[in-house]
């Protein structure tokens, strides 16, 4: 454990201050210095991949419809940002927004945004399951990556999922692509461990690592890279650095980068104190 510097990945864009999955959130993430972007994808009724987390639109748009039952043209008529700051119209000092940045975001447009960036940016795509379209989601993702020439080992893209079946499917479609097995609960680990692909990355949640020290130890013993979500405090970042996480997925990329710059060499003094008092998740045996 070296306290290495992890890659900073913007979770649904810079989503702490901006409406998630809007192009505006990703523009802000790049301005903040994020080194990679994360998105969730779902398939519309007419076969387009869109960046939306929930299966329905009640939380993040002006509609309560299901993504899978709507065409892209219908989604394109909706607004996806005002929920984040519902009082903006009453704020005389609020910055005037570009409506084009607040529309539904297709995966293709986000990929083009990454391709056109003025510095190398990676993209972590999570396919959402269960869905009525099953394996068609991964097939459409693979087709989009192929169009950009992003299916090889040097692709800026990695694909993630909580479904090992989805990752196995993705591995067949794009054998050289990096894949991340997301782990929602520590208790799921015994069931997931036997089905992991040889080169799959592990994606545990920070809360599970914090609450279950032995779970963190078990993941470390696999020798696999760790990409941890969703890391939003300096204490959580310290733990990720102690675990040598290769990537941290965060709603607050600007803050995480600032914390890393404040302690560029290794872990912060807080982690060292935790180790001394045996409060670190990895200080015990087992």
Q: Which of these is catalytic: 21, 48, 53, 227?
A: 53
Strand partners, 10: 37, 250
Q: How many CB atoms lie within 10 A of CB 136?
A: 12
- How far is it, in rounded angstroms, from Cα 49 to Cα 52? 9
C-alpha triplet 116, 161, 253: angle, nearest 5°: 50
Closest CA to 23 of 110, 126, 122: 110
Asked about 53 being catalytic, the answer comes back as yes
Asked about 11 being catalytic, the answer comes back as yes
Q: How many CB atoms lie within 10 A of CB 91?
A: 9
Question: What are residue 282's phi and psi, to 5 degrees?
Answer: -110, 10
What burial class does residue 152 get, using C-beta atoms within 10 Å of its C-beta: 0-12 exposed, 13-18 middle, 19+ buried? exposed
CB 119 within 8 A of CB 37: no
CB 259 within 8 A of CB 233: no
Tell me the DSSP string of 121-172.
-EEEEEEP-S-TTTTHHHHHHHHHHHHHT--STT-SEEEEES-HHHHHHHHH
Closest CA to 128 of 82, 184, 79: 184
Q: How many CB atoms lie within 10 A of CB 83?
A: 14
Residues in the chain: 286
Known catalytic residues? 11, 53
């Amino acid at each position: 454990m070296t306290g290495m510097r992890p890659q900073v990945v913007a979770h649904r864009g810079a989503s702490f201050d901006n409406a998630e999955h809007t192009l505006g959130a990703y523009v802000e993430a790049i301005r903040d210095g994020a080194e990679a972007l994360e998105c969730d994808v779902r398939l519309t009724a007419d076969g387009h991949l869109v960046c939306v987390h929930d299966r329905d639109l009640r939380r993040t748009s002006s509609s309560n419809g299901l993504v899978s039952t709507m065409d892209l043209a219908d989604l394109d008529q909706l607004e996806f940002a005002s929920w984040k700051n519902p009082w903006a119209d009453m704020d005389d000092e609020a910055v005037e927004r570009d409506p084009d940045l607040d529309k539904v975001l297709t995966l293709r447009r986000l990929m083009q945004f990454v391709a056109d960036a003025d510095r190398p940016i990676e993209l972590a795509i999570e396919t959402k399951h269960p869905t009525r379209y099953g394996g068609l989601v991964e097939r459409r993702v693979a087709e989009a990556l192929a169009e950009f020439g992003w299916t090889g080992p040097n692709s800026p893209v990695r694909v993630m999922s909580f479904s090992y079946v989805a990752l196995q499917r993705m591995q067949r479609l794009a054998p050289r692509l990096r894949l991340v097995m997301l782990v929602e609960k520590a208790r799921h680990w015994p069931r997931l461990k036997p089905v992991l692909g040889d080169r799959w990355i592990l994606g545990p949640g920070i809360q599970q690592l914090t609450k279950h020290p032995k779970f963190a130890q078990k993941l470390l013993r696999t020798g696999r890279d760790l990409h941890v979500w969703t890391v939003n405090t300096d204490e959580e970042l310290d733990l990720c650095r102690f675990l040598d996480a290769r990537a941290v997925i965060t709603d607050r990329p600007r803050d995480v980068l600032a914390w890393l710059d404040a302690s560029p060499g290794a872990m912060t003094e807080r982690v060292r104190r935790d180790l001394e008092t045996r409060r670190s998740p990895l200080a015990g045996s087992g």
